Structure 1
Amino acid sequence: MKSLNKTLFLVCLFIYSFGYSQQPTDCIDAITVCGNSNVSLDVNGIGTQELSGSNTCSSQENNSIWLKVTTVNSGTLAFTLTPDSNAITEDYDFFIFGPNVSCGNIGQAIRCSTTNPQAANQGNNLTGLSATASDTAEGPGVDGNSFVSAINVSAGDSYYIVIDRPVGNSPFSIDWTGTAQFSEPPTSAAFNANQIAIENCDLTSPFDDGITSFNLEENTPTIIGGQNNVTITYHETESDANINTNALLSPYTNLTNPQTIYSRLTNTITNCYTIVPFELIIGTGPAINAPSDYQVCDDASDGSNTNGQSFFYLPNKNTEIGGANTSDFTFSYHPTTIDASNNTNVLADNYYNTTPDLQTVFVRVENVSNPGCVSTIALNLIVNEAIITNDSSLFQCDEDGSIDGFTIFNLDEAFDDLTAGFTDRNIVFYPDAISALSQTNAINSLGYSNISNPQTITAVVTNPNTNCFATATLTLEVSTTSISNYDAAPVCDDADSEDGLNTFNLSDFSADILIGLPADLTINYYENYNDALLEQNQLPNNYTNTVPYNQTIYVRVEDNNACYGINQVTLTIIPLPQIEDDQTLFYCLNNYPETINLTAGNTDDILNNYTYSWNTSETTTSIDVNTIDSYTVTVTNSLGCSKVKTITVTPSNIATINDILVVDSTIDENQVTVLTSGEGDYEFELIDFLGESTGFQDSNVFNNISPGFYTVNVKDVKNDCGTVNQQLSVIGFPLFFTPNNDGENDFWQIYGASNQFQPNSTIQIFDRYGKLLKEFTALNTGWDGTFNGLPMPTNDYWFIVKLEDGRVYKNHFTLKR
């Protein structure tokens, strides 16, 4: 027996689609609690409502589970229920019926607690039976502290405990704290789960789906051992095993691979049980590796190297498929997957493919120690195309400074001949056929020095996609003919760049280089000697030199791909005269017939080393001109290279003042516009009668000018050809006057009129009713504020000004006293 001071774990109280009859939510399906039971259930809901009116705690089933306990000794029944979540909102209730009642006639609960821990302000959400509690029922809501008194039990008494969760979703655990004891459940006699795992080979067609049949009962003796009064059943789910429903029969066909089966060991006297899980495992045969394609090259061993058929030694793939321990397996090869599964139509080890180019066969692998378990896999047999090659020759010039028949070759020059024109090929060169066979002493194809003249070497031509290869011979021969160096005619530098770099048409040199040589020779150019020798990096026909002013390139002459000779070609570029850039000069037309000097402007040498030609037919280094025009001078050095300079003479001139427009308005808001003409660029200045200047400005308009007399100055800034000036006046009138004989503003008169400007202008003064009070000219003193010798009062007065140039002004002013 075990003490009741044990923990019963009830987990996974989540929603699943089980029928009520399959759930421990009803009395009839109550879980029997045993000494060391660990129960895991998928439960939810209430099943049949069995608590209505059966308790004094005012509650019923919400999410419930029924437990049945039977004691084997007298003592106290007590427990503590602990939700997995410590949230105070997790609310568990319980109800206890007994002793020795039956389902359908459970009577009234002898203990119950429906206290809500949050409403009762508890510090935790625990509940249960306690030896320190005195009440037998409490709740609902705020009533109680969730614990009621323990029960004194006798040996053999049985009780039903209903655990209910009205609020929350957390699982829970129970800790048994009383002195009463429960019956022990059966135990598994197996040492571990591996001992009772059942492993079968996949012996039912199809053989590779991981599904076959099992005899579950073969585990019964191992699990029960020597225990009496114990029965065993097998189930697909742990829930079925706990509830003891849907027992499996043998032979049983598995659903998945692997699959867990749950065995239930039940004591037929106490109904205590234990769940013992074990695995059903399908052995699908040996663990093998997918083989790479088995590729061979077509050859003439069967009489044809183009029929896509050859011999394959199939056991060569055993190690790749089975790994290092091939002795643990047996291998056989078959034309179809059915043959491989049934072990029929075994192919010969040295197999000659019947389908050209590509044929798939199937490999059967059995474990020697367990021949019933078989693995099969596909293997592709591929016959790759044979390699076609041609023998070839290379001829090279003996241009290394010693005419001895030894020089350097670029073996890649023979690539197209050796490969019969196929571009997807690799070539490795060897000094002889023996080295080629052993793949030793490979030759560097670029820059190989021959050791005899002529010399024959071996080329191994490979298709890198299939690794098929064939050999060919390459004969190396050195020519001792030669050609002379050639100096190309010097050319003048390009005037647009003057960087010593020009583009040469190299074919222009070929005719001169080939003079005196045999006919039908070909010629190519290279930037350096090594490129010419190895025939790499050939220069284009239109070549721009890379070394300024003087560069040596190399020409290679060939006779039907045999080198005839290599030598130097010198390219020379003559610098142009260094003179100043084009210029623009200005000539003041008002200074005519004075002249200005134009010069070629040499910067790199003494003037006598050049000749000069002006478009004026003059041949001196400089000329004097007084005509607006464009002048060019061609400067030529002693080597005949010329450069042209252009000097443009543009006009400038002193300004002509065509008119001065004055817009008169109020006292300080007048505008003056100076209208000019001429070839220059002009600036404008106003100077008043006191000598104060506005300063020179680009605009010919002056704003906010006070009435009075001014001098306008206009100067040429294009070529400083001079300044012109003219006087002007701005008409205005005062807004008020004070005729009090204090010497200031005693008379009213217009401004800007004089003997020189508007002298015959007339002014008329009127009162507000239009009566003429005074008429006078611009040269008079003005109005003194009287009429017929009597002073006029303070008021506004009107005037009309008729200027000599015809303009008329009407406005008013104020007389103040």
Structure 2
Amino acid sequence: MKLALKISVLIIFLLCYNNTLGQQPTDCIDAVIACGNSNVNLNVSGVGTQELSGSNTCSSQENNSVWLKVTLVTSGTLGFTLTPNSTAITEDYDFFVFGPNATCGNIGQAIRCSTTNPSAANQGNNLTGMNDSASDTAEGPGADGDSFVKWLDVLAGETYYIVIDRPIGNSPFSLQWTGTAQFSDPPSDESGTNGMPLNLESCDVVTPFDNGFTTFNLTDNTSLIAGTQSDVTITYHENISDANIGINELSSPYTNINNPQTIHARITNNTTGCFELTNFQLNVNLGPNFSQPIDYELCDDSADRNNTNGRVIFDLSSKNPEILNGQNPSDINITYHTSQLNAETRANPLPNAYYNSTPFNEQLFVRVEDALNPDCKSVTPLNLVVHLNPEAFNDTLLQCDEDGAIDERTIFNLNQANTVLTNGVAGLSTKFYTDSARTIEADGNAFTNTSNPQTIYVDVINDSTGCSSPSELTLNVSVTDSEDTELVECDNDGTEDGYFNFILTNADSDIVAGLPSGLSISYFETYDDALLETNNLGSTFTNTNPYSQTIYARVENANNCYGISEVVLTVNELPDIETEALAYYCLNDYPKRTTSLNAAVINDNPSN
């Protein structure tokens, strides 16, 4: 007997049985042929036709069964040990042996059988089978026996049927042959000897082209598997159970149902019926790897003499590096098409310089194909988007020359013009440049002009799209002036500390005295704040330096600087006086003598 000769039989009982699944090895006619070192895996259900009633002395019938067919090529002894995968004593397997040379439909009486229940017989395990130590040929049911009967003396050429049945339990089992007799050797997969791989790969050439299903010629592997063996038949099956039983043979060409998919090949010896199984993969090549391109967005321009029609020239090849994502461009071909059908059939590729035909939004399709196998391709959409440029407007800023030097140079807050430059549209921003080529950017918060007037070049930018339109900002320096003045208050707010809350608008009339009407005035703590119009103090202000502080008033004519005046804020101390004094006057000198009285001012000139 060959060592480790073993049949592993997997039984899975389905909750419901459907006859459309095909034949199962639950009947004699469909018995699994045991050969050499074959490993058998089965997916079976039910009992098929009940064939054990009245055909055995062990008082049982089929409950959940599998039939095995054994043909010997040498004489000797034949036994086996059946081991349930579960060690639970409640797992109960029975078996029945018919032969020699019994035929289906006329199997006669079982020559060996055991229906002992291991739990009822108080066995230490749930194994059963035939061995050399047993002397009985039949036992059971229930507590009768020990689950083992005497093995068979067999002759070369004899055939036996062995029925394995499980009346109780749900565990699969393994079967190990014992004794000296040998089975026929199964055929073999000879593809390994010629070094040719069995796995089949195909491009997806069946519509739809991106679902991973296409046709394969399975018979391409037949000669590789058979090799030098002449008396064998190769069949192909979708699952290992069908391959074991030899049912539901696949025709070729075959369309895969999964990607990847395992195909099971059954190699059957036409003389002995012995078979061997092998398998290989079907792989559908869905095309090269690629990165999904993001939308190709451009701003409308005047290259076509119309910067508002939503049409521009796109350089399609500029998207290639993004799609390749680091892959060698010589390995992959990329073409662009106006429809998915054109991309799939490689029809009418577009030029690299493409003028979109649909304004503002157009969808193209990119074909990404293997340079060596062009049928292996991927198709992905690419959106072409054209954005309109924002409207931009020109403006002028007038600033005062109040830095002490009448040189027509001063500091501008260019951002003060943003509302006019953008027409107040939200989502727009500006950039300022000193040159018409827009290469030297200016500080929009604090810019000192170099000439009077001076043109600043502006880009009005859509913050979402990045599209921009040009405009110009003219800077003028005003030499007009406004009057300086002073606000004076006594420190009579209840706390004599040199601080007072000034009403700044009280200085308005002095500042614009003699100036044209319609001027506006705003107050700032520093000169730079007044120039740049930042940190407006409002109409009231408590000085931050005690007793005396200079602030600045900016006078504007229609948002243009007319002049910047100094406003001195003065807080006068209250006089320190003696609140009580005592003087004596003698009436005997009246009216010849007088008495002087004073205001009792302390530390000051009494006449103040």
Aligned to 1:790: none
Q: How does 1:176-575 map to 2 (within 5 A)?
A: 176-191=177-192, 195-323=197-325, 324-398=327-401, 405-434=408-437, 436-437=438-439, 442-450=441-449, 455-479=454-478, 481=481, 483-484=483-484, 486-487=486-487, 489=489, 493=493, 506-526=504-524, 529-541=527-539, 554-566=552-564
1:84: Cα distance to partner? 1.6
Q: Deviations over 1:334-391 (max 9, x none)?
A: 3322333333344333222222222222233332211223332322222211343334
Change (3 A) 1:69 1:549: farther
SS at match of 2:307: coil
Partners of 2:524 and 2:34 in 1: CA distance: 100
Q: 2:37–2:185: 8 Å Cα contact kept in structure 1?
A: yes
Q: 2:489–2:500: 8 Å Cα contact kept in structure 1?
A: no
TM-score (norm 1): 0.63
Q: Which amino acid in structure 1 is aligned with residue 389 of structure 2?
A: A
Partners of 1:504 and 1:50 in 2: CA distance: 116
Partners of 1:194 and 1:514 in 2: CA distance: 101
Partners of 1:278 and 1:488 in 2: CA distance: 102
Q: 2:489–2:572: 8 Å Cα contact kept in structure 1?
A: no
Residue ranges of structure 1 left out of the alignment (5+ in a row): 577-604, 610-637, 639-817
Q: 2:11–2:45: 8 Å Cα contact kept in structure 1?
A: no
Change (3 A) 1:349 1:168: same
Identity of aligned residues (%): 53
Change (3 A) 1:417 1:288: same
The structure with the largest strand share of the pair is: 1
Q: 1:493–1:573: 8 Å Cα contact kept in structure 2?
A: no
1:506: Cα distance to partner? 5.0
Partners of 1:180 and 1:73 in 2: CA distance: 5
Further displaced range: 260-269 or 411-420: 411-420
1:405: Cα distance to partner? 4.8
Q: Which amino acid in structure 2 is aligned with residue 520 of structure 1?
A: G
Q: 2:266–2:276: 8 Å Cα contact kept in structure 1?
A: yes
Aligned to 1:10: 9
Larger Rg: 1
- The structure whose RCO (Cα within 8 Å, separation 6+) is larger is 2
Q: 1:263–1:276: 8 Å Cα contact kept in structure 2?
A: yes
Partners of 2:527 and 2:297 in 1: CA distance: 46
1:160: Cα distance to partner? 1.4
Change (3 A) 1:562 1:55: same
1:81: Cα distance to partner? 1.6
Q: 1:501–1:546: 8 Å Cα contact kept in structure 2?
A: yes
Partners of 1:493 and 1:80 in 2: CA distance: 113
Q: Which amino acid in structure 1 is aligned with residue 358 of structure 2?
A: T
1:126: Cα distance to partner? 1.9
Q: Which amino acid in structure 2 is aligned with residue 371 of structure 1?
A: P
Q: 2:501–2:543: 8 Å Cα contact kept in structure 1?
A: no
**Paired positions, count:** 574
Partners of 2:362 and 2:484 in 1: CA distance: 64
Partners of 1:320 and 1:190 in 2: CA distance: 42
Q: Which amino acid in structure 2 is aligned with residue 339 of structure 1?
A: N
Aligned to 1:89: 90
Q: Deviations over 1:768-811 (max 9, x none)?
A: xxxxxxxxxxxxxxxxxxxxxxxxxxxxxxxxxxxxxxxxxxxx
1:43: Cα distance to partner? 0.8
Q: 2:488–2:571: 8 Å Cα contact kept in structure 1?
A: no
Change (3 A) 1:131 1:414: same
Q: Which amino acid in structure 1 is aligned with residue 512 of structure 2?
A: L
Change (3 A) 1:572 1:136: farther
Q: Deviations over 1:664-686 (max 9, x none)?
A: xxxxxxxxxxxxxxxxxxxxxxx
1:494: Cα distance to partner? 9.3
Aligned to 1:46: 47
Q: 1:531–1:537: 8 Å Cα contact kept in structure 2?
A: yes
Q: 2:76–2:154: 8 Å Cα contact kept in structure 1?
A: yes
Q: How does 1:545-694 map to 2 (within 5 A)?
A: 554-566=552-564, 608=579
1:11: Cα distance to partner? 1.9
RMSD: 3.5
Aligned to 2:598: none
Q: 1:297–1:468: 8 Å Cα contact kept in structure 2?
A: yes
1:148: Cα distance to partner? 2.3
SS at match of 1:302: coil
Change (3 A) 1:334 1:606: same
1:21: Cα distance to partner? 6.3
Q: Which amino acid in structure 2 is aligned with residue 244 of structure 1?
A: G
Partners of 2:541 and 2:234 in 1: CA distance: 98
Q: Deviations over 1:518-574 (max 9, x none)?
A: 433221234555443322343455x57596998876532223333334456577899
1:425: Cα distance to partner? 2.0
Partners of 2:41 and 2:114 in 1: CA distance: 24
Q: Deviations over 1:69-115 (max 9, x none)?
A: 22222222222222222222222222222222112222222222222
Q: Which amino acid in structure 2 is aligned with residue 426 of structure 1?
A: S
Q: Which amino acid in structure 2 is aligned with residue 392 of structure 1?
A: D
1:408: Cα distance to partner? 3.6
Q: 1:4–1:180: 8 Å Cα contact kept in structure 2?
A: no
Aligned to 1:669: none
Q: Deviations over 1:258-280 (max 9, x none)?
A: 33322211011221112222223
Further displaced range: 476-485 or 84-93: 476-485
Partners of 2:531 and 2:147 in 1: CA distance: 105
Partners of 1:334 and 1:298 in 2: CA distance: 22
